[in-house]
Amino acid sequence: MAEKFVYFFGKTGTEGNKDMRNTLGGKGANLAEMATLGLPVPAGFTITCEFCNVYLAEGKKFTDAVKKQIADALKQTEAAMGMTYGDEKNPLLVSCRSGARASMPGMMETVLNVGLCSKTIPGMIAKSNERFVYDAYRRLIMMYSDVVMEKAEDIEPEEGKGIRVQLEKIMHELKEAKGYKSDTDMTTDDLKTLCERFKAKVLEVLGKAFPDDAMEQLYGGIGAVFKSWNGRRAISYRKIESIPDDWGTACNVQSMVFGNMGDTSATGVAFSRNPATGDNKFYGEWLINAQGEDVVAGIRTPFPINEETKNEQNKHLPSLETQYPALYKELHDIRDKLEAHFHDMQDIEFTIQEGNLYMLQCRNGKRTGTAAVVMAMDMLDEGLIDEKMAVLRVAPAQLVELLLPVLDPKEEKKATIIVKGLPAGPGGAVGKIVFTSEDAVAAAARGETVILIREETNPEDIDGMRAATGILTARGGMTSHAALVARGWGKCCIVGASDIHIDFAAKTVKIGGKVYTEGTVFTLNGTKGCVYAQAITTMDASENPRFIKFMTLADKYRTMGVRMNADSPADAKVGKAFGAEGIGLFRTEHMFYGKGSDEALFILRKMILAKDDAELQKAVNELFPFVKKSIKGTLEEMDGMPVTVRLLDPPLHEFVPQGEEQQKNLANALGITIAEIQKRGELLHEVNPMMGHRGIRLGLTNTAVTKMTIKAIFEASKELKAAGKNPKAEIMVPVTCSVNELKEAKKLYNAVKAEVGGDITIPYGTMIEIPRACLLADEMAQEAEFFSFGTNDLTQMTFGFSRDDIGGFLPEYLDKKVLKADPFQTIDQEGVGQLIQMAVQKGRSTRDHLKVGICGEQGGDPASVEFCFKAGLTYVSCSPFRVAIARLAAAHAAIKAGQCGCKK
Amino acid sequence: MAEKFVYFFGKTGTEGNKDMRNTLGGKGANLAEMATLGLPVPAGFTITCEFCNVYLAEGKKFTDAVKKQIADALKQTEAAMGMTYGDEKNPLLVSCRSGARASMPGMMETVLNVGLCSKTIPGMIAKSNERFVYDAYRRLIMMYSDVVMEKAEDIEPEEGKGIRVQLEKIMHELKEAKGYKSDTDMTTDDLKTLCERFKAKVLEVLGKAFPDDAMEQLYGGIGAVFKSWNGRRAISYRKIESIPDDWGTACNVQSMVFGNMGDTSATGVAFSRNPATGDNKFYGEWLINAQGEDVVAGIRTPFPINEETKNEQNKHLPSLETQYPALYKELHDIRDKLEAHFHDMQDIEFTIQEGNLYMLQCRNGKRTGTAAVVMAMDMLDEGLIDEKMAVLRVAPAQLVELLLPVLDPKEEKKATIIVKGLPAGPGGAVGKIVFTSEDAVAAAARGETVILIREETNPEDIDGMRAATGILTARGGMTSHAALVARGWGKCCIVGASDIHIDFAAKTVKIGGKVYTEGTVFTLNGTKGCVYAQAITTMDASENPRFIKFMTLADKYRTMGVRMNADSPADAKVGKAFGAEGIGLFRTEHMFYGKGSDEALFILRKMILAKDDAELQKAVNELFPFVKKSIKGTLEEMDGMPVTVRLLDPPLHEFVPQGEEQQKNLANALGITIAEIQKRGELLHEVNPMMGHRGIRLGLTNTAVTKMTIKAIFEASKELKAAGKNPKAEIMVPVTCSVNELKEAKKLYNAVKAEVGGDITIPYGTMIEIPRACLLADEMAQEAEFFSFGTNDLTQMTFGFSRDDIGGFLPEYLDKKVLKADPFQTIDQEGVGQLIQMAVQKGRSTRDHLKVGICGEQGGDPASVEFCFKAGLTYVSCSPFRVAIARLAAAHAAIKAGQCGCKK
């Protein structure tokens, strides 16, 4: 028997269900589920994602076997709907829609009204009216010629020469000639004329006729959906979202229902709860006498679905609740049924055809991070989900948004709102305004933060939206493209600010009579929908009580520790507020960077350029109080929590002064010439400093510094202890490749410990950041009481990639899929991960309860945190700002592994 | 029962044997073996190496248990010799000598005449004569105070203030005062006086009395031997020879016999065959009325042992053969017996006391590489050893010497010999003369080749001898320190050139009335012992038929292939002469280095600095004929043998012109300014070029070059095939870290292959030089038909060591034993080796018969070759000059593993 590629759904005999999304795509699986639930779903069938791969791999052809399955499913559909596809009298029309495993909104193609042709038009007219049918026909020609005949055939017309543009031009000319303002002004005859002109243009431009055969149209539509999986936009979106290429898309062929059959018809989209705030209120938009695309595309400002969710922009428009109370109740009941069934907020599409409600789609709705937290906690309270599910409902990356800057309310109060729009993506954003996706990308590449302003966005704007810090559109509702995408990314976004008037040619925007040129600084309040033509200070938003409660819940299920990388008491304070349980990486050298470090840095430089041991020791002695103060302050701030102090890591030449003024001062202090300073500096130059004289290599050749640092740690601990505090310092040796390095450094540790005296216990461990240290971790663990993976360096060495030099090839490697992701962003589990797992296993083979952490930058990346959990790490350490994300990611990992509850 | 630490040897009841060298040391094991064989060995006992470790680890004390064992063994010794230690009437004197598992000539301490004290002196006088006894006593005081009381107590006197120097000064003063020329002029009373003065000086300088108790002397002597294991010289020697620190030395306490008891006494050392040439002739030196140290130290020019081995230097001196024919016969019989027993050439020490022959030592003799080959082949012919043993008898590193330069005979014939000496180390050496070890080291560090000239060498000269390319001494025989050490290292050396007169203060040498200053160029012919005060051209010595026969024998047992790294037809020719079976690494980029590369390099530079694709493609097209010619020539030279061509590897900026003239020419050719050239060059600059944009990373971003190179290989192969040749090119992709890189490059390969056409099969493989490639070797092998380990880069990445930057810490790491050896010289088996083994195993898990080689520089290092064999590699590839060494090392590995004979 041939493989089953086609699944029917309808009132009876539905073959799929919600758990088959890998095969049927999200849309197909949920259409089947809704049909089984007895909801009014127009019948149809889903052609599987597996077939998409077959189709694309094998010359884009339909085999006889699959054609047979399609014919059978079409027959079932006809039976369910009581109509016949291609029939003269009672013709069935269908839509062909994409639907992948993961939602890829607007990234693939759709063809509506498929099946309209000379043969079926009279029958359709008999069932509705002539004007409606020819309007549907001209829409079909426009869409089909563009999607099926041009895009799917990989025809790349010159700018402005695409078939769609040319057809729109014809329509525009007709309207102009007749003096029409709106499409609805066109008469039946106008539409008939238009269809003839369209077909002639299609033949002229594309060299073949618009198909007049219903079956040909059907296969054309299905093929175009599958081909659009490999369209430029889809590929680009998959890269951003890390969606595998081999998932493929399903194609849903569904009976058409029409929201544009007059004033008793309508179409809408809704969320079972508010996707921006999480409020438990049915929330949606609808339009009378319209097709679904009209709502999503933002061409008309949609109506509110009910009274309680009306807002500034739509309060004057009629709600479905008041206009059609019975239909609203039916829809509201469906909303309740779906939430009870799916235990999650649903994003639904519906159409009302001549007073009858039809469900076209339902899926778990995208939501902002704020909404995710609110819904999770609400649904937990409602008993809809359990605690674990509540924790899992918020993606760790979504927390970024909760932690995102908001505008300083005091400043905002004083500022003037120049325009208001819909609050589509929360948080605050400040940046220079730009008007095209390209300009946004270019400005971001220059390091500028920008606000992208568009009439409305479409999938072609993806890169620019990504690059912008905030998005502002003139049209579209809360379910418009811009709103959906921004929400998915947790990006500040305001849509439907209809009072803005953009002049793309001049690169200006006119608001309230005033013209703003490109580069003007705007501030957006994406939570309220307010726009300001000035910069407003942004601030943190971590004091949300709902957020704190949610994080407490997450911590209940988390088993892996979360620390922070912090180098000062101030850093430490920030991270503690985010829930850090200690410092996993205190970089001694960071006290020489940045503000207030001048004096210490100057002494350090004297030390580096010392000509002999005496000069060196003198500088080291001078440096001691600075190092001790920095360490002591941090230990005090973190009282009772572990603080892992890493010994000096970077190559010394990093600190050699480059400026002449600095060189002069140093020369004076050392009593030598500038030339001598430069000469000594040059001696420190290295060909490959990343693999040079650094870390413990420096620590063993320059033992005075090592001892000084260890002494600072011991003395600080001793003094704090004497003052009744509970300092918990740990000493970490960087860049080790051999246990003998640890043994040598331990001699220095022991000597200092004996010298300082007192009953101070300071665990002694090592960074694991050199492949050899992983390979010989069993030996390393004989000396080291703990490991901490330095995944930045480990990634560099394992790949042989210098992070500073990957610009020349990494973009191309990501483009060509040589690498799945930038390994410096997320741990390369296949390669680097193997070394990590090996090191954990080997390390614990010689030291049972070896404590193992990670302090590379990936420590705050959710996928990396999950990997660390699986690898058995004791804790992750990340930047203070990412601590909450790591906590949640760790909770997710524990829950998914069924290993939760061990900690608290 | 306590552990057995003491083993007796003597006429009866010998407890050890030759197989116990790990416990008894080489000397102790062989003393036991000789005693068991019934040879005249003075009785004694050996305290084990294990005890040395115990003694050094546990506070340098003797436990009661070991004291008891020593006392028992001493009783057995007394019984065997019929004398009693410390006895008034018939006292036994003993020597305390070191003896480790591996020979460490002169690196540790010896004390002779132990047991002479007030109590035993009268009895000794009764057995011999007063003068002899007081001479022995003054020798004991000098040696004991130096070795036991000063050195072993870690007293480090100022230069010239050591106790030995001070005692020598006293003796010198006495001789001066009396007008004596020689030690032998001293009367009994003189010696008595000297002994008293010596003892007073010892008390004054060292603060304690010279011990007058025999037992105290014994334990002092034993302890000093053990302590000398950790003496500076011993540690330094162990580092050079890679001898583990934890082996320890044994201490041999043996009854004294005296070669200096008058004219019927003598002492000597001999080799059962000539250690320099391998000639099967008994070869040795002896001195009448002398102690052993007199022969070895080179103070007196020793006599030849027999007539047939007399030479220029000693032909006028009496041989043992003529002087004492019976004793000579007895010794010669022992020589035969030992060779038959040990199946190897023996190095023996003997003493004749009043007409009685005693054997003091025998061991496998060190020999030159030439001698090793000659002896191995002779002993094979004699049936003394089998083929495998013959192959094993030559250490691979010894071949270096056979391949070492010899002087051009035509030039040498015309040159004037300024002095002759003994040919102690074969080959030719040319260099500037220096007179101290320090100067030799300093000059070598500057990159100069030097000839070290010394009166005689001693262990303090080790570093200088190592640094020098040739060694010339004024004194000493073929068994002197200089000769032994030079032979061990295969270094050119002439000893006993007594007509040279060195003025160390002036740093000059006077030879035949002429004065030569430091820095003058000398040439040595170490095979003949001739010295020239001019440079003579050196040449290769690979046409030795004995050598070729030996290598053929080695190949019979070798199973692993040996290829060479070669980049031109000329290189290829050299390596083929040394037996290379193919090219394992042909570096495409090498055609741009060195002589004759100007034109190609110029085009390459145009390519690198091209501003756009068109300019780039133009340069690539120009480059094509050069690349093709180079590859074709090499394939032709290697007809029928595999040639692995590596695609372009180094980062492009390596080729950016730095000189202004070159920049100018290039600017003219490209029609741009020098500033623009510099700017484009700077764009290519990288922070860590070793981990930057190179290898396949460049190959995939700059596909034009990759395709051009692949095309050159295919076209060259096609043309050679058409001409009836059998080209066997292989294409190797460098610096890969992911199988996707191989897949992408394979697309280019396939495109070129289709373009060139013809039935050309070219295996496609990859370098494995990035840790990640090892970790994912199973995936890599899905695309790669072969692997070749690039151990240079793999070592860099695995350690995180930049080879260019290790100077700052590697010396200290080796000193402190953080690393056992320089991992760039010999494969780090623990770390890098783990990755290699993993890669071989994983690679073959997805491709059964995956061919795996190594082409890093360690491919010619014997230890690395053995490791490669164990790891299951198909072949090693090394520099042409090291091919023979690799062949022999591979044969050794196969024989040791019992896996030989599989190949031929």
pLDDT in tens, A156-178: 888 788 999 999 999 999 999 99
pLDDT tens for each residue of B184-237 = 889 999 999 999 999 999 999 999 999 999 999 999 999 999 999 998 889 888
Instruction: Give the Cα separation of A784 and A793 in Å (integer).
Output: 19
- Would you call A693 an interface residue with chain B, using a CB distance cutoff of 8 Å? yes
B604 or A192: which carries more pLDDT confidence? Answer: A192
Per-residue pLDDT at B152: 86
| Interior angle at CA B234, CA B230 and CA B237, nearest 5 | 140
Q: Give the Cβ contact number of residue B482 at 10 Å.
A: 30
CB pairs A-B closer than 8 Å: 172
Q: Do B772 and A737 touch (CB under 8 A)?
A: no
Q: Is the pLDDT of residue B903 over 50?
A: no
- Would you call B797 an interface residue with chain A, using a CB distance cutoff of 8 Å? yes
Rounded alpha-carbon distances, angstroms, from residue B501 to B437, B504, B746: 17, 10, 69
pLDDT band of B49, cuts 50, 70, 90: very high
DSSP codes, B457-475: --GGGHHHHHH-SEEEESS
Q: Which residues share a beta bridge with A45?
A: A8, A253
- Would you call B809 an interface residue with chain A, using a CB distance cutoff of 8 Å? yes
Q: Mean of the pLDDT values across residues B257-279?
A: 92
Instruction: Give the Cα separation of A607 and B198 in Å (integer).
Output: 51
Spans of chain A, pLDDT less than 50: 900-904
Per-residue pLDDT at A902: 38
- The secondary structure element, H or E, covering residue A717 is helix A703-722
Q: Do A687 and B793 touch (CB under 8 A)?
A: no
Q: Mean of the pLDDT values across residues B5-20?
A: 93
pLDDT band of B887, cuts 50, 70, 90: very high
Q: Mean of the pLDDT values across residues B264-277?
A: 92
Q: Is the pLDDT of residue B595 over 60?
A: no
Share of chain B above pLDDT 90, in %: 67
Per-residue pLDDT at A904: 36
Residue A697: closest CA among chain B residues belongs to which residue?
B809
Contacts of A693 in chain B (CB under 8 A): 805, 808-809
> What is the greatest pairwise CA distance in chain B?
104
| A467 Ramachandran zone, left/alpha/beta (phi>0; psi -120 to 50) | alpha
Tokens (6 digits) for B372 = 């090793």
Per-residue pLDDT at B482: 84
Terminal C-alpha separation, chain B: 54
Contacts of A812 in chain B (CB under 8 A): 700-701
Per-residue pLDDT at B543: 64
Q: Is the pLDDT of residue B484 over 80?
A: no
| Residue A172 burial class via C-beta count within 10 angstroms: exposed 0-12, middle 13-18, buried 19 and up | exposed
- For chain B, the average pLDDT equals 91
Chain B residues 731-770 with CB within 8 Å of chain A:
735, 737-738, 740-741, 744, 769-770
State pTM to two decimals.
Answer: 0.79
Among A160-164, A389-393, B475-479, B815-819, which is the least confidently predicted range? B475-479
Q: Find the radius of gyration of the CA atoms of chain A.
A: 32
- Would you call B821 an interface residue with chain A, using a CB distance cutoff of 8 Å? no
Per-residue pLDDT at A903: 39
Count of H helices and E strands in chain A? 35, 33
CA distance B619 to chain A (A): 21
Per-residue pLDDT at A384: 95
- Would you call A692 an interface residue with chain B, using a CB distance cutoff of 8 Å? yes
B571 or A771: which carries more pLDDT confidence? Answer: A771
Q: Which among B744, B813, B834 has the least Cβ separation from residue A818?
A: B744
DSSP 8-state assignment for residue A148: I
Confirm if B394 and B373 have CB atoms less than 8 A apart.
yes
Instruction: Give the Cα separation of A806 and B303 in Å (integer).
Output: 72
Instruction: Give the Cα separation of B353 and A162 in Å (integer).
Output: 114
- A855 counts as catalytic: yes
Q: Give the Cβ contact number of residue B664 at 10 Å.
A: 14
Catalytic residue among A52, A737, A855, A878: A855
* Pick among A648, A653, A687, A688 to test the B interface (most B CBs inside 10 A): A688
Q: Is the pLDDT of residue B72 over 50?
A: yes
DSSP codes, B812-830: HHHHTTSSSS-TTTS--TT
Sign of dihedral through CA atoms B17, B18, B24, B28?
Answer: positive
Q: A82, A142, A145, A114: which is closest to A256 by C-alpha?
A: A114
Share of chain B above pLDDT 70, in %: 97
A833 or B260: which carries more pLDDT confidence? Answer: A833
> What is the greatest pairwise CA distance in chain A?
104
Instruction: Give the Cα separation of A404 and A409 in Å (integer).
Output: 15
Q: Do A700 and B740 touch (CB under 8 A)?
A: no
pLDDT band of B901, cuts 50, 70, 90: very low
* Pick among B698, B809, B824, B838 to test the A interface (most A CBs inside 10 A): B809
Instruction: Give the Cα separation of B277 and B269 in Å (integer).
Output: 17
